[in-house]
A = this chain, B = another copy of it.
Amino acid sequence: MTTLLGHNYIAGQRSANGAVQLQSLDAKTGESLPGTFFQATEAEVDAAAQAAAAAYPTYHNLSAEKRATFLDAIADEIDALGDEFVATVCRETALPAGRIQGERDRTSGQMRLFAKVVRRGDFYGARIDQALPERQPLPRPDLRQYRIAIGPVTVFGASNFPLAFSTAGGDTASALAAGCPVVFKAHSGHMATAEWVADAIIRAAELTGMPAGVFNMIYGGGVGERLVKHPSIQAVGFTGSLKGGNALSQMAAARQQPIPVFAEMSSINPVFLLPEALAVRGEQVASQLAGSVTLGCGQFCTNPGLVVGIRSSHFSAFLEQFCAHMNTQPSQTMLNAGALDSYRRGLDELHEHVGLMHLAGQPQQGPQAWPQVFKADVSLLIKGDELLQEEVFGPTTIVIEVEDQAQLAAALHGLRGQLTATLIGEADELLEYRWLAESLQEKVGRILLNGYPTGVEVCEAMVHGGPYPATSDSRGTSVGTLAIDRFLRPVCFQNYPDALLPEALQNANPLGIRRLVDGEPSEAKL
> Are A445 and B519 in touch, CB under 8 angstroms?
no
Task: Tell yes or no: A150 within 8 A of B by CB.
Answer: yes
> Are A494 and B451 in touch, CB under 8 angstroms?
yes
Question: Roughly how many angstroms separate A61 CA and B437 CA in the complex, as a whole number?
Answer: 13
* Known A122-B521, A461-B127, A519-B460: A449·B490 in contact at CB below 8 Å: no
Task: Tell yes or no: A446 within 8 A of B by CB.
Answer: yes
Residues of B within 8 A of A514 (CB): 521
Q: List CB contacts (< 8 Å) of A487-526 with chain B.
A: 488-497, 499-500, 514, 516, 518-519, 521
Query: CB-CB contacts of A140-154 with B at 8 A, as 1s and 0s?
Result: 110111001011000
Interface residue range, chain A: 35 or more
> Are A482 and B493 in touch, CB under 8 angstroms?
no
Task: Tell yes or no: A291 within 8 A of B by CB.
Answer: no
Determine chain A's interface SS by DSSP, over half rule. Answer: mixed
Task: Tell yes or no: A473 within 8 A of B by CB.
Answer: yes
Rounded to whole Å, the gap between the CB of A281 and the closest CB of chain B is 15
> Are A151 and B521 in touch, CB under 8 angstroms?
no
Contact of A494 among B57, B417, B446, B521 (CB under 8 A): B446
Stretch at the interface among A165-173, A340-348, A390-398, A462-470: A462-470
Question: Roughly how many angstroms separate A256 CA and B262 CA in the complex, as a whole number?
Answer: 17
Task: Tell yes or no: A431 within 8 A of B by CB.
Answer: yes
Contact of A447 among B120, B122, B492 (CB under 8 A): B492
Task: Tell yes or no: A457 within 8 A of B by CB.
Answer: yes
Contact of A141 among B253, B457, B475 (CB under 8 A): B457
Question: Roughly how many angstroms separate A465 CA and B519 CA in the complex, as a whole number?
Answer: 20
Candidate in A145, A257, A434 with the most chain B CB atoms within 10 angstroms: A145
> Are B462 and A489 in touch, CB under 8 angstroms?
no
Task: Tell yes or no: A474 within 8 A of B by CB.
Answer: yes
Chain B residue nearest to A486 (CB atoms) is: B475
Task: Tell yes or no: A450 within 8 A of B by CB.
Answer: yes
7 A-B pairs within 8 Å (CB atoms) are namely A102-B137, A141-B451, A437-B500, A445-B492, A446-B491, A446-B492, A460-B516
Q: A449-B495, A449-B496 are in contact. List 13 more A-B contacts (CB 8 A).
A: A57-B438, A122-B516, A151-B442, A253-B258, A257-B469, A431-B500, A445-B490, A445-B491, A447-B496, A463-B490, A463-B492, A474-B489, A475-B489
Closest 7 CB pairs between A and B? A463-B492, A253-B253, A145-B461, A446-B492, A448-B494, A143-B461, A127-B461
